[in-house]
Structure 1
Amino acid sequence: MSKYLLNKFLYTVDRDPALVERYREEPAATVAAWEAEHAPRLLNCVTAEATTWLAFDDAERSALATHDYPALFALGAHPFLTLTLFIAMFERDHPEPLAFQREYAVRLAHHTLPYPDIAT
């Protein structure tokens, strides 16, 4: 398990509007393509610098591919990164102001302190 890689995925997808839309419409394909193309690259480095050890495990891949943000939170994904990406993807499906944010809070309400460790 790599919290770094989970957070890198959330961070990089959230900053690319086309990738946000692709992830919304084709999550499993987007996760697979991102993992093949972006996971080996070090964050903010030239493409020539890469690593071979970073990959999602099955639980991470499944949670990402099904938009399961409560599972991502339980796996240690940073809640701010998760929330901002999922707001970009799903807020438009909720007509009431802050409706998605309330749903997010309800779906994570079963977590109690101490929360899962988000340190990478």
Structure 2
Amino acid sequence: MSKYLLNKFLYTVDRDPELVERYRDDPQGTVTWWEAERANQILNCHVPEASTWLRFTDEEREALTGHDYVRLFALGAHPFLTLTLFIAMFERDHAEPLSFQKEYARRLAHFSLPYPDIAT
């Protein structure tokens, strides 16, 4: 398991409006593409350089393709990264102001301290 890779996915997708929409509409295709094309690129590196070993586990891939932010949190994905990305994807589907954020909090309410380790 790589919390780094989960967080890198959430971070990079959230910063690209086209990727946000792609992930919303086609999570399976987006995760598969991102893992093959972007996972091993060195983050914030301005020269073409890449590693070769980073891969999602089946559990991580399933949580990502299912938009399962509760499971991602349990796997150690950073809650601010999941929240900002999922707000961008799903807040528009909720009529009331902050209703997605309230749903996010409600669905994570069963976690108690200490929270899952989010260190990478």
TM over 0.5: yes
**SS at 1:20 equivalent:** helix
- Letter of the 2:61 counterpart: R
Q: Distance in 1 between matches of 2:63 and 2:69?
A: 7
Q: How does 1:33-52 map to 2 (within 5 A)?
A: 33-46=33-46, 48-52=48-52
8 Å contact from structure 1 (residues 73, 79) kept in 2: yes
Runs of 4+ that moved beyond 4 A: none
8 Å contact from structure 1 (residues 42, 51) kept in 2: yes
Q: Distance in 2 between matches of 1:15 and 1:33?
A: 17
Q: Distance in 2 between matches of 1:105 and 1:99?
A: 10
Structure 2: 5+ residue runs without aligned partners? none
Match of 1:63 in 2: 63
Length-normalised TM-score, structure 2 = 0.98
Match of 1:99 in 2: 99
Cα deviation, 1:45-98, whole Å, max 9, x if unaligned, reads 145211111010000000000000000000000000000000000000001010
Q: Distance in 1 between matches of 2:23 and 2:83?
A: 15
**SS at 2:50 equivalent:** coil
Match of 1:19 in 2: 19
- Letter of the 2:119 counterpart: A
**Does 37-46 or 88-97 show the bigger shift?**
37-46
Identical amino acids, percent of aligned pairs: 76
Structure 1: 5+ residue runs without aligned partners? none
8 Å contact from structure 1 (residues 41, 47) kept in 2: no
Aligned CA distance change for structure 1 residues 24 and 47 (closer, same or farther; 3 Å): farther
Match of 1:4 in 2: 4
| Cα RMSD, aligned residues only | 0.7
